[in-house]
Amino acid sequence: MSASTIKGKKAQSSSFQFDAVVIGTGPGGEGAAMQLSKAGKQVAVIERHESVGGGCTHWGTIPSKALRHSVSRLIEYNANPLFNDADRSRHLTFSEILKHAGSVIREQSRLRGSFYDRNAVKIFHGEAAFVDAHTLKVTREDGSIDHITAKQMVIATGSRPYTPGDIDFSHPRIYNSDSILSLKHDPKSIIIYGAGVIGSEYASIFRGLGVKVDLVNMRDRLLSFLDAEISDSLSYHLWNNGVVIRHNETYETVEGRDDSVILHLASGKKMRADCLLFANGRTGNTDMLNLSALGIKADSRGQIRVDENYKTEVDNIYAVGDVIGYPSLASAAYNQGRFAAQAMLSGTCPSSLVEDIPTGIYTIPEISSVGKTEQELTAMKVPYEVGRAQFKHLARAQIANTQVGSLKILFHRESKEILGIHCFGERASEIVHIGQAIMQQKGDANSIEYFINTTFNYPTMAEAYRVAAINGLNRIF
């Protein structure tokens, strides 16, 4: 393809077809492409799939959260005598509730595609591989090849589920967190191997559908990075709903049969279910990029090392999102893309991710937290205090019948500075942002007393902050 065949609204360098090419159209790639385009650069993106949006839209964040929402509403329906006064609960299969997720995916992909059209960013569909630091080979599905040149490149290829070679993922009853979205039958039981965020979320989803769930955890507690009380709350809620959690276990072999899957554990135990979901880690999508042509070497998890400006070892090549590791969040990836674009434009990145990145875990109920945990503050010998609000005491939660859960505020005993917000319950991922906004303020503006002196709408879930603040300040003597 010659430079003369590339048309666009902006002028580009005479020696390259584009000023910048972004590989991947997930949140990180989109953030970079939009920022560069709005700065007047001629930009192209390369997407290996037929629709834009990346793994976040098609296999990860959007479908799993849409599934979770549908199952949560089903649970509410079956528990509410106002709508369901029959003797039998309403039952929906996984594939039936997946239809709602499909419509959300299509709408999100259509919307994201319109952003590229509006900003005159050209989309190439195909598999990208580096020829050199300024040239990419793009192989289309029909086997035809384009060569694209650009002054600067951004790697935003995301990640995929880790799939060990000794497990047959082509077996019709063995799934990873991407292929589970193609589940067609209605299992009565499932083994979920891996009790991280993805495994815990799917444990909630399948249990909400009435499926018998065995959750295998390699560690001694669920989601050990969380505040211990929140982790314990999730463990209790899953246990109370019938999920069997097996801690400190690792698999030895996975045996796929015509009618079931048998998981052989290293401890000698054997487990049997209709199907198995393997959800133990993810790998960066870098192995197909021919990074060796650049002298860049990804680590064992397919991740690329970058500096504070998101620049790789090669001066004109940047990387953002899951391929650079922590925090591996869609929300953070979008900002990383924007920040990398700023560095590409000016040489340095004037912005950075906020220090306290919120965690949102879409189990049923949700979990969200930002800042320090009690365990971290204790180890740091920080004199903190705790303020709590139980959702069952809030009028809004009583009205909505979402009384499971609580809000916990950690704050400094002397300065009243907010140190951590931890929430377990319906809409936790929304509720946490109120506390996050105050935590980000400087000096006296970051104080738990803000929640005492501010009037909240009544009834709301936000009122939990006032209740928790009063509860915490009453502990000060």
Could you report the per-residue pLDDT of 375-408, keeping only the tens digit for each? 999 999 999 999 999 999 999 999 988 999 999 9
Tell me if 210 is assigned to a ligand binding site. no
On average, the pLDDT of the chain sits at 93
200 labelled binding-site residue: yes
Buried b or exposed e, range 3-36, using 16+ CB within 10 angstroms:
eeebebeeebeeebbbbbbbbbbbbbbbbbbbbb
* pLDDT at residue 368 in the model: 97
Q: In the prediction, which pLDDT does 356 show?
A: 86
For the stretch 315-362, pLDDT in tens is 999 999 999 999 998 989 999 999 999 999 999 987 777 788 999 999
40 is in an annotated binding site: no
Is 194 annotated in some ligand binding site? yes
Whether the per-residue pLDDT at 3 is higher than 60: the answer is: no
- Asked whether residue 199 is marked as a ligand-binding residue, the answer is yes
pLDDT of residue 86: 65
Region 293-302: mean pLDDT is: 94
Task: Tell me: is residue 55 an annotated ligand-binding position.
Answer: yes
**Domain limits, the chain:** 3-58+98-160+283-346, 174-280, 365-473
Residue 124 has pLDDT above 80, yes or no: yes
| Mean pLDDT value across residues 211-227 | 96
Q: Is 51 annotated as a binding residue?
A: yes
Residue 31, annotated as binding a ligand: no
* Contact indicator for 68, 364 with CB cutoff of 8 Å: yes
pLDDT for the residue 12: 45
Distance in angstroms (rounded) separating the CA atoms of residues 361 and 224: 13
325 marked as part of a ligand binding site: no
- Residue 54, annotated as binding a ligand: yes
Task: Assign domain 365-473 to its CATH architecture.
Answer: 2-Layer Sandwich (3.30)
Give the residue among 282, 277, 92 at the shortest CA–CA distance from 200: 277
Non-local (6+) Cβ contacts of 4 within 8 A are none
- 407 forms bridges with which residues in the sheet? 389, 423
- pLDDT digits over 417-448, tens only? 999 999 999 999 999 999 999 999 988 899 99
Q: CA-CA distance, 236 to 243, in Å (whole number)? A: 10
Do residues 35 and 90 make contact, with C-beta atoms less than 8 angstroms apart?
no
Domain pair 3-58+98-160+283-346 / 365-473, same fold: no
157 is in an annotated binding site: yes
CATH of 3-58+98-160+283-346, one of 3.50.50.60, 3.40.720.10, 3.40.50.10190, 1.10.3730.10: 3.50.50.60
Strand pairing report for 244-246 and 212-216: parallel
198 annotated as ligand-binding: yes
The answer to whether 53 is a known ligand-binding residue is yes
Q: What is the C-alpha radius of gyration for the chain, rounded to an integer number of angstroms?
A: 24
HSE of 442, CA atoms in CB hemisphere, 13 A: 0
Render pLDDT for 129-180 as a digit per residue (tens, 0 to 9): 999 999 999 999 999 999 999 999 999 999 999 999 999 999 999 999 999 9
* 29 annotated as ligand-binding: no
Mean pLDDT of 277-294: 96
pLDDT value of position 85: 67
Nearest by Cα to 276 from 171, 173, 168: 173
Among 103-107, 197-201, 395-399, the least confident range: 103-107
Q: Is 195 annotated as belonging to a binding site?
A: yes
The H or E element containing residue 264 is strand 261-265
For the segment 104-131, the average pLDDT, to the nearest whole number, is: 94
d(CA 53, CA 92): 28
Q: Is 197 annotated as a binding residue?
A: yes
351: how many CB neighbours lie within 10 A of its CB? 10
Residue 9, pLDDT score: 41
* For range 205-214, the mean pLDDT: 96
pLDDT at residue 436 in the model: 96
Determine the pLDDT at residue 6.
40
* pLDDT tens digits, 9-68: 444 446 999 999 999 999 999 999 999 999 999 999 999 998 999 988 888 889 999 999
Tell me: is residue 438 an annotated ligand-binding position. Answer: no
**pLDDT exceeds 50 at position 7:** no
**Which one is the CATH code of 174-280: 3.40.30.10, 3.40.50.10490, 2.50.20.10, 3.50.50.60?**
3.50.50.60
Q: Is 177 annotated as a binding residue?
A: no
Angle, helices 330-346 vs 27-38, to 10°: value is 30
Q: What's the rounded Cα separation, in Å, for the pair 259 and 274?
A: 7
Write the DSSP string, 93-156: -HHHHHHHHHHHHHHHHHHHHHHHHHTT-EEEESEEEEEETTEEEEE-TTS-EEEEEEEEEEE-
| Residue 201 assigned to a binding site | yes
Q: For a pLDDT cut of 70, what percent of the chain falls above it?
A: 96
φ, ψ for residue 294, nearest 5 deg:
-105, -10
Q: What is the H or E stretch that residue 254 is in?
A: strand 251-256
56 annotated to a ligand binding site: yes
Q: Is 386 annotated in some ligand binding site?
A: no
Give the strands of the sheet with 405-412, arranged side by side: 359-361, 367-371, 418-425, 405-412, 384-390
Is 125 within any annotated ligand binding site? no
pLDDT score at 14: 61
* Cβ count near 390 (within 10 Å): 17
